[in-house]
Structure formats: structure tokens, C-alpha cells
Structure 1
């Protein structure tokens, strides 16, 4: 009788396989293919060979699945690695692309100041007000002039 697959191990193995493959692919693109471990080079070579026969997404899926199966057994998973459940976009990641391409987002617009705060200077982290650059420059000039005066 086959042992029941561990979903915790499967989830960790799948996450690690996806992250490792993305890292290996980026390192290879940056010219560090020779520094990758032997298993990573083997996975990437298989990925490149499949690109001639199928799309990039299909080749990536197979490469990640192979890595996932190896990680699942290395992490102590019994039997064959279970097929991962298809990921559904969650509410917080609903705008991410299916192919896990990172999209840059613009930072949120600053909130308009309240009428009581208008005219007040912005504060730096820690609650202190920033020192104007002109004041810093004037202080440096004063230090230089004082130094020249005192060394004569």
C-alpha cells in the first residue's frame, strides 16, 4: 500500500523548486552557468533542449516539476510527489500574471495634507524636522571661516 503524500512537504518542495529554478535561470542569463551546481546545470540543459520543441512556459513547467519531484523525495516525502493543486489568484495577488513575471507598480500617491497641517514642514523619520540644505551650507562656511581665522 502506498504511503499518503505529505501536503506540507509537497508545498515546501514546490515553493523551493520554483524559487530555485527562477534563480538558476537568472544566474545562467547573467553568465554564471558554470558556477551552478551540477543538478541545476542538468535541469537548465533539459529546459533549453525542450525550448526547440515547445513553448517557454511548457518547458519551464516541466523543469519545475522535475525539480519538485527530486526535492519532494529529498525532503522525506513518501511515494510519488503529488501533483500540485493549480494556483488560483488570491485577492491580494489578483493582478499578478500567470507566468510569475514581476510587474513594477507605482507607489501609492501621498494623501493630501489636512487643513491643520498645511504650512507645517514635513518631518523626517523619528519625528524630527529635516534641516534645510542652505542652513547646512551656511554652517559649513562658518566652520571654514572660523578655522581660517583661528589658524592665522
Structure 2
């Protein structure tokens, strides 16, 4: 039975995603000096990463990728994958947004105002307060006149 069946590929994708997410979490926890809070299994994987990075033979990114692949194979077996773990290609890195300034290679888009084609609709004129007050007086007088019959 080949190890590249659909179910094994799905298990492989989930194991790969989980391994990459866990490794990123371990790196963040190491920056916060809280590696001791990790489970023993995670501490073992992370210490192997630190040993690979300290050897100097591999760059830090290569040591990270080797550790992620080790964790991936372990997670694949734990999730019930059969045979050897399939090779999962990492998702392509998103392209940086191009801007007029080629030296600016970050992914921040500068704010630009959108020019309006049509003028905004005019607001309705508000009724002056004096006119409202006069209207209330007229209503009060009319009420008194109608309720009593005369002023």
C-alpha cells in the first residue's frame, strides 16, 4: 500500500501544519524564557534544535527546518499515518506588494485618499429653534382655546 494515499496526504498536511505551529510557539516561549513550561517531549525537540543551531554547521533556518521535519515525522506517526511521511511542500511565501519606491520592500500599503467623483449630497437645512418654540406656543394656545372654548 503506497504511503501517498489521500488520507495519508491529509494526515501529512495536518501534521506538517501542527509541527510548524508548535515550533513557532516554542521559539516564542524561548524568547520569553519560559521553555520550562513546555511538555517534556517539546523540550526534547527544542533542545535538539538548539544543539543543531549551536554546532554552526547549519544556519539557524536550516536547523529550524530540520527540527520541524523531525517533529513532522513524529506527529505523522502519532496521527495514524502509515508508511513514511509524505513530502509536504511548504506554502509559497506571499509576494511583497510592489510600490513606486522599490527600496521599500515591506508589505505595508501607504494610505491614499480616494478622490470622490461626485460632490457629497447636501444636508437638509435644520429648522431654527425659534420657529419650533413659536409652533409650541401656537399649539398650547390652540389647545387651551379648544378645551375651554375661549381665551
TM-score (norm 2): 0.62
- When the two structures are aligned, how many residues end up with a matched partner? 111
Maintained 8 Å contact 1:46/1:63: yes
Q: Which residue of 2 aligns with 1:26?
A: 28
Maintained 8 Å contact 1:4/1:78: no
2:69 pairs with 1:68: no
Unmatched tracts of structure 1, length 5 or more? 97-102, 121-152
- Residues 86 and 27 of structure 1, relative CA distance in 2, 3 Å threshold: closer
TM-superposed CA distance for 1:118, in Å, is 9.1
Q: Which residue of 1 aligns with 2:92?
A: 88
Name which one, 1 or 2, has greater alpha-carbon Rg. 2
TM-score (norm 1): 0.62
Unmatched tracts of structure 2, length 5 or more? 98-104, 124-151
- Residues 65 and 118 of structure 1, relative CA distance in 2, 3 Å threshold: farther
Give the RMSD, CA atoms, in angstroms: 2.8
TM-superposed CA distance for 1:39, in Å, is 1.1
TM-superposed CA distance for 1:79, in Å, is 1.1
Greater helix content: 2
Maintained 8 Å contact 2:15/2:75: yes
Q: Which residue of 2 aligns with 1:116?
A: 119
SS of the residue 1:13 aligns to: helix
Taking the TM superposition and a 5 Å limit, the aligned residue runs for 1:94-113 are 94-95=95-96, 105-113=107-115
TM-superposed CA distance for 1:113, in Å, is 4.6
Q: Which residue of 2 aligns with 1:99?
A: none
- Which of the residues 44, 47, 58 maps onto 1:45? 47
